[in-house]
Amino acid sequence: MEINELIVEKIKNFSPNAIEETSDFRSDFSLVIKKDELLKVAEFLKADPDLLFVQCKDVTAIDWAKRKNRFTTVYHIYSFKLNKILRLKVNLGEEPQVDSVVSVWQSANWYERETWDMYGIKFLNHPDLRRMYMPEQFEYHPLRKDFPVMGIPGSIPLPSGPQKD
Amino acid sequence: MIDVHNDEKLLKALFEQDTDITIEDALENEMVINMGPQHPATHGVLRLLLRLDGETVMSIVPELGYLHRGYEKMAESMSFNEYIPHTDRLDYTATMCNNVAYVLAVEKLAGIEVPTRATYIRMIIAEISRIMGHLVAIGTFAMDVGAVTMVLWSFREREIIQNIFDRLAGARFTTSYTRVGGVASDMDDVAIEMTHGMLKDIEDALFEYEKLLNSNRIFVDRLEGVGILTKEKAIDLGITGPNLRGSGVQYDVRRAKPYMFYDKMDFEVPVYNEGDCLARYFVRVDEVKESIKIIRQCLNQMPKGEIIINSPKKVLSHKAEIYTKMEELIHDFMLINFGIHPPEGDVFFSVENPKGELGFYIVSNGTGHPWKMKIRSPSFCNLQAIETICKGQMISDIVAIVGSLDPVMGEADK
């Protein structure tokens, strides 16, 4: 597809080593970006007059459990100009942390908070990295594969029921 | 044992927000007010922490998670068919839309074609539940700002729609009507007759609503110019749906990336440029009218035929076939026990829901369960705008703003 080639070429001109891998599955185009280059590429994709990916639709992560790079963060960004959803992926190494993209897309604020809550991935330079859903003192990250579906007994105190005499 | 009632970080976030609001006679003491999670105007269990100077909101921190049921975690241990009933519980004011969105995402992943009649039925039910969702939105919004009549009127019309769902799916509220590969039961002549009648009723009712609200001075004065969200801010904050179109962006997934047969339909995308609470209300009313148009076209164009595709390896067969044919029986057993085995890969599929753009991001590793499923819920994203909109507004307008953004907490908390 032409748009896909245009995007890849533009990024390669901007930063030759940023793209690790491209894939096109069921006409969903996705790019694997180098961890250190993410913020620069994000800024470029938003600002470039031919691309204008101005809206960040979603940020999430995948826990691969047994792979060497356990976590992958996934970003879905949208360009009104090209009418195109682009997926960016970043493979995280030993430490689950990556640069925050809130400075580029403000909407990423809550999405990254949710991802931190659910996967325990630290977003560096995030303005307000609190938990989104779980209580602040909760010590686990529920969407990690090592967290059981039934939950961990005693991890959240239950409300005390009606008193029996 | 942890203390779940510790709000230290929440308060810290509230006081650390930069406020560049200047008030003429600022009071010396600021006040912190906790609104919700049990407040009737928060549409569920949304909790807002407000820092006030007099009656002006200096900063606001929303707190979510009171209805968090972990649907994304549950999806990882369920087969694709098993999960359909859970999509009802996302946006519970427009259940059928979620059903349709989910199965479309799974079909995109597994590469399943759907019969034409089934697609038309899906479009009809999606649009009917869009009307249903907007009726709740308009009714409760008007009630929040004082017009209690509206909620009674709009729920009266909702009842008619629920009767149609009862006929189609056997349930009025938790429908779970769609199946991977089609829909659960055919739309018979009675249901079509009921739909025609419902459209007529809704049109009459809309005329009444507009007579009650549009020239109502209290309603209009209360909302005009309140809670303005500019175009650039709306895009930057990831707002979608009627809230985005109320801010002057002509973006509708049905037009931008047509799915099902929306490219064949003749309808407008209503857009208002003001970006205030009143504009968001007008967008919703106009969308109901457009939905009526779409349903009429669908009913006229809908052909006769199958409602679920005959492909026993991926799609559950009809019961009569399972009882009489060997192959169908085997595959039914395999599908129920081990699930559909889509190819390895990941897809993102989004549709236009009454609240905005609902997207499913499914990662498959080739087994019967999704490896990961992320729900991009529109209410969650739209709620993010509260911090921006509410700063500098009066405390009584918060109720109007939350009502106009129309969040459904079942979806925001997942």
Question: Do B257 and B277 lie in a common domain?
Answer: yes
Question: Do B51 and B181 lie in a common domain?
Answer: no
Question: Do B363 and B385 lie in a common domain?
Answer: yes
Residue B68 is assigned to a structural domain of this protein: no
Residue B295 is assigned to a structural domain of this protein: yes
* 3-state secondary structure at position B302: coil
pLDDT one-digit tens code per residue, A20-65? 888 888 888 899 998 888 888 899 988 888 888 998 989 999 988 8
The residue among B14, B60, B71, B73 with the most chain A CBs within 10 A of its CB, best to mutate, is B73
| Alpha carbon separation from A27 to B78, B109, B138, B298 (Å, rounded) | 26, 11, 37, 27
Cβ atoms of residues A46 and A52 within 8 Å: yes
Partner-chain contact A57 B238, CB within 8 Å: yes
Question: Do B21 and B135 lie in a common domain?
Answer: no
Res B295: pLDDT: 92
Res B309: pLDDT: 85
Residues in A closer than 8 angstroms to B346, CB to CB, are: 25, 28, 30, 74, 87
More confident residue, B106 or B318: B106
pLDDT at A131 over 80: yes
Question: Do B131 and B99 lie in a common domain?
Answer: yes
Question: Do B177 and B134 lie in a common domain?
Answer: yes
pLDDT one-digit tens code per residue, B252-293? 888 888 888 888 888 889 999 888 888 999 999 999 999 999
End-to-end CA distance of chain A: 73
Q: What's the rounded mean pLDDT across residues A67-82?
A: 89
- CA B324, CA B130: separation in Å to the nearest integer? 39
What structural domains does chain A harbor?
Answer: 2-124 (3.30.460.80)
Q: What's the rounded mean pLDDT across residues B331-347?
A: 87
Q: What's the rounded mean pLDDT across residues A94-122?
A: 89
pLDDT at B22 over 60: yes
Q: What's the rounded mean pLDDT across residues B187-193?
A: 90
- CA B377, CA A119: separation in Å to the nearest integer? 18
Residue B218 is assigned to a structural domain of this protein: yes
The residue among A76, A107, A116, A145 with the most chain B CBs within 10 A of its CB, best to mutate, is A107
Q: How many CB atoms lie within 10 A of CB B115?
A: 18
Res A1: pLDDT: 62
Res B173: pLDDT: 86
Question: Residue B402 is part of a domain; what is its CATH number?
Answer: 1.10.645.10
Within 8 A by CB and 6+ apart from B42, the residues are B35, B36, B48, B402, B409
C-alpha neighbours within 13 Å on the C-beta side of residue B253: 22
Res B200: pLDDT: 92
Residue B362: pLDDT band (50, 70, 90) is very high
Residue B331 is assigned to a structural domain of this protein: no
pLDDT at B7 over 80: no
Partner-chain contact A137 B65, CB within 8 Å: no
Question: Do B84 and B55 lie in a common domain?
Answer: no
Residue B349 is assigned to a structural domain of this protein: yes
Residue B327 is assigned to a structural domain of this protein: no
Sheet-wide strand order for A71-79: A19-25, A28-33, A84-91, A71-79, A55-63
Question: Do B208 and B289 lie in a common domain?
Answer: yes
- The alpha carbon of residue A2 is apart from the nearest alpha carbon of chain B, in Å, by 17
pLDDT at B1 over 50: no
Task: Report the helix count and the strand count for chain A, using DSSP H and E.
Answer: 3, 7
Q: For chain A, what percent of residues have pLDDT higher than 70?
A: 95
Question: Do B236 and B171 lie in a common domain?
Answer: yes
Q: What's the rounded mean pLDDT across residues B338-342?
A: 86
Strands A84-91 and A28-33: parallel
Strands B56-63 and B178-179: unpaired
A100 touches chain B (CB under 8 A): no
Q: What's the rounded mean pLDDT across residues A140-164?
A: 80
* Helix residue ranges, H only, B170-215: 189-213
- The alpha carbon of residue A57 is apart from the nearest alpha carbon of chain B, in Å, by 6
Residue B368: pLDDT band (50, 70, 90) is confident
Measure CB to CB from residue A107 to each of B8, B70, B381 and give the nearest one. B381
Res B411: pLDDT: 87
- φ and ψ of B90, to 5 deg: -75, -80
DSSP for B227-286 reads: S---HHHHHHTT--THHHHTTT----HHHHS--TTGGG--------SS-SHHHHHHHHHH
Question: Do B80 and B205 lie in a common domain?
Answer: yes
pLDDT at A156 over 80: no
Question: Do B364 and B393 lie in a common domain?
Answer: yes
Domain ranges, residue B404: 74-111+114-308+342-412
Size of interface A-B (CB pairs under 8 A): 116
Number of domain units in chain B = 2
pLDDT one-digit tens code per residue, B138-163? 998 888 888 888 889 988 888 999 99
- CA B355, CA B371: separation in Å to the nearest integer? 27
Question: Do B152 and B37 lie in a common domain?
Answer: no
pLDDT at B93 over 50: yes
Residue B315 is assigned to a structural domain of this protein: no
Cβ atoms of residues B370 and B345 within 8 Å: no
Res B197: pLDDT: 92
Cβ atoms of residues B94 and B354 within 8 Å: yes
DSSP B308: B
- φ and ψ of B357, to 5 deg: -90, 110
Residue B388 is assigned to a structural domain of this protein: yes
Residue of B241, B251, B254, B246 whose CA lies nearest to B376: B241
Strands A28-33 and B345-353: unpaired
Res A165: pLDDT: 62
